[in-house]
Structure 1
Amino acid sequence: MWRYVLRRLLQAVPVFFGTTFLIYGLVFALPGDPIQALAGEKPLPPSVVNALHERYNLDDPLLIQYGKYLVGLVQGDLGETFDGQDVSAVLSGRWAVTAQLAATAWLFELAVGIALGVWAGLRRGRLADTLVLGGTTLVIAVPVFVLGYTAQIVLGLHWQIFPTAGTDDGWPMSYLLPGIVLGSLGLSYVARLTRTSLAENLRSDYVRTAHAKGLTRVRVIGKHTLRNSLIPVITFLGVDFGTLMGGAIVTEGIFNLPGIGQQVFQSIQLKEGPVVVGATTLLVLIFLLVNLIVDLLYGVLDPRIRHE
């Protein structure tokens, strides 16, 4: 087990460096001078521009800039913004919001998506199966901003079931509606994956053997069939958690949640490259960690899988 974990961590090293270098290069390759953007339309004296360029290594080659960034990153320093603020301080107050939003959406996908998938998979070809397939297709086809504004107007303003914006009501109330909106697309895929995998496994030889041994239907489905059927679902859920953390920009904007997504969007507009790079670097680390956990869960779901 530990040898496998070490091997996966070593495999994650080139992925981390390659991803962060690509992000760093793309961010700092954006047109325009970020130092001049601080002053807006008012021109800055050349001496000030040169001093700030030197302070933030903007005149160095890209590889040198990236190397200096990695040196600071190893020491736990994400750098500072072009107006002198520490990037860690800028992001620290927003991580909790995005983490709670992503966790709410992920739990919604996990619970409701698997339940709908099992319901449809056990009734393949019947009305329940048709309803799940039709409903998930509709959700996939609707853009997230349309779904978000519709849910906000209907469930928030008209029916007043959920708060419409902000985090004043705390978790979970302030995060339920945006979490449902953010997790709706992933829920559709989870339901479809569970439904297809369960329906296929129900026709397997080991299921017929279990029934022939006299095991109850609940035991056959719950202990044997469902565990094997959840392997592709867990794979998707692991990947999707990182996607939820990084893909909350639209949802946070609709529901006015002061999270990482909103901060990254604002930083892109202001050409604050250090904030964008710092946030995405942390998201990459979360993504790699979650995928390692998913790989370890395979052995729990399927005893035939051994990490040796």
Structure 2
Amino acid sequence: MFRYFLNRLGQGVIVLLVLFTITFFLVHALPAGPFQTEKAIPEHIKERMEAYYGLDKPLGVQYVKRLGTLGTADLGASLRLEGRDVSEIISQAFPVSLQLGLVAMGLAICIGIPLGVVAAWKKNTILDYSAMALAMIGICIPAFVIGPVLADRFGQQWQALPAMGWSPLSPSYWLLPAFTLGLVSAAYLSRLTRAGMLETLNQDFVRTARAKGVPEGQILVRHCLRGGLIPAVAYIGPAFAGIISGSLVIESVFAIPGLGTHFVKAIEFGDEPVLTGIGLLFGILIILANIGTDILGAWLNPRLRSSR
């Protein structure tokens, strides 16, 4: 098992290298450079700025130099925000995105898993059909559509919740963006939980427990829940990383000062160090989330430990 996770970490390093390479060359393939603004910059000043940041060198030389700085854990300085390191920008903005992602994932788990358990328990009833219909709606409607609708209804028309801004200590600011982010994950979790619970409920040990007169609630919680949650657990890790990265759009909708604002502006400006830093951060999150999911899945299903 330990050797398996070491292999996964090694694969993660390769994934990060590929991710950095793709991001680097895609940013440099953008038609507009980092110093091409609406207000024309004198050519001699532009040349001095490019020389200062090393952008006057061949692309291959720039790539090797950036790769070397990353090897020393130096993400470089932002081209858009003069004098600010990328690590400083991430350290200030990432806690906001992380808090939003944790709340969204918590809402997704609290909504999706109970919904899937009830749907499996009441299979082929109105509760099952209603729960799966809601899940399908949540899957089909993208977050960037749900967000503006919720902000308009609850924030502007009804004035029940703040539609813009962020306060780390005020839950009223979290609810709308977190619900928007977590709705799709809740929908997938409900369907995966239902499928896992139905498979477990059809096992022989469940029929034996029912024949012995064990209460249905005890069967669900003590005998079926652990095995039935394995598909949902396998999804939670990548889903959490997806929620964090998906918050880039939602943060712009709700004017949240997280990584999303810096990411969007970095694309507009062609700020390669910021784009690379944020991209690598999300890559690390996805790798760690997948490894954490494997550990939790092995704890829930002992057969997975012997196969790795």
TM-score (normalised: structure 1): 0.91
Q: Counterpart in 2 of 1:201?
A: 200
8 Å contact from structure 1 (residues 116, 132) kept in 2: yes
Give the Cα separation in 2 of the matches to 1:242 and 1:197: 22
Aligned CA RMSD, in angstroms, stands at 2.0
Q: Counterpart in 2 of 1:17?
A: 17
Give the Cα separation in 2 of the matches to 1:44 and 1:260: 32
Q: Counterpart in 1 of 2:176?
A: 177
Q: Counterpart in 2 of 1:121?
A: 120
Q: Secondary structure at the match of 1:282?
A: helix
Give the Cα separation in 2 of the matches to 1:270 and 1:237: 34
Change (3 A) 1:214 1:69: farther
Q: Counterpart in 1 of 2:7?
A: 7
Q: Counterpart in 2 of 1:74?
A: 71
1:283 counterpart = 2:295:
no
Gaps of 5+ in 2: none
8 Å contact from structure 1 (residues 156, 164) kept in 2: yes
Give the Cα separation in 1 of the matches to 2:138 and 2:212: 41
Q: Secondary structure at the match of 1:165?
A: coil
Q: Secondary structure at the match of 1:12?
A: helix
User: What fraction of aligned residue pairs are identical, expressed as a percent?
Assistant: 34
1:58 counterpart = 2:55:
yes
Stretch deviating more after TM superposition (112-121 or 210-219): 210-219
1:259 counterpart = 2:247:
no
Give the Cα separation in 2 of the matches to 1:169 and 1:75: 32
Give the Cα separation in 2 of the matches to 1:115 and 1:305: 25
Give the Cα separation in 1 of the matches to 2:251 and 2:229: 30
Instruction: Kindly provide the amino acid, as one letter, of the partner of residue 44 in structure 1.
Output: P
8 Å contact from structure 1 (residues 231, 298) kept in 2: yes
Change (3 A) 1:206 1:66: farther
Question: In the TM superposition, what is the alpha-carbon distance from 1:125 to its structure 2 partner?
Answer: 0.8
8 Å contact from structure 2 (residues 19, 279) kept in 1: no
Give the Cα separation in 1 of the matches to 2:14 and 2:58: 21
Change (3 A) 1:66 1:138: same
TM-score (normalised: structure 2): 0.91
CA distances 1:69-114 after superposition (whole Å, capped 9, x unpaired): 2322232211111234211222222111111111111111111110
Give the Cα separation in 2 of the matches to 1:62 and 1:11: 27
Stretch deviating more after TM superposition (263-272 or 27-36): 27-36
Give the Cα separation in 1 of the matches to 2:111 and 2:164: 24
Q: How many residues align?
A: 305
Question: In the TM superposition, what is the alpha-carbon distance from 1:171 to its structure 2 partner?
Answer: 4.4
Question: In the TM superposition, what is the alpha-carbon distance from 1:189 to its structure 2 partner?
Answer: 0.8
CA distances 1:189-215 after superposition (whole Å, capped 9, x unpaired): 111111122122211223223434554
Stretch deviating more after TM superposition (292-301 or 226-235): 226-235
8 Å contact from structure 1 (residues 16, 284) kept in 2: yes
Change (3 A) 1:212 1:7: farther
Instruction: Kindly provide the amino acid, as one letter, of the partner of residue 50 in structure 2.
Output: H
Question: In the TM superposition, what is the alpha-carbon distance from 1:116 to its structure 2 partner?
Answer: 0.7
8 Å contact from structure 1 (residues 36, 44) kept in 2: no
Q: Counterpart in 2 of 1:156?
A: 155
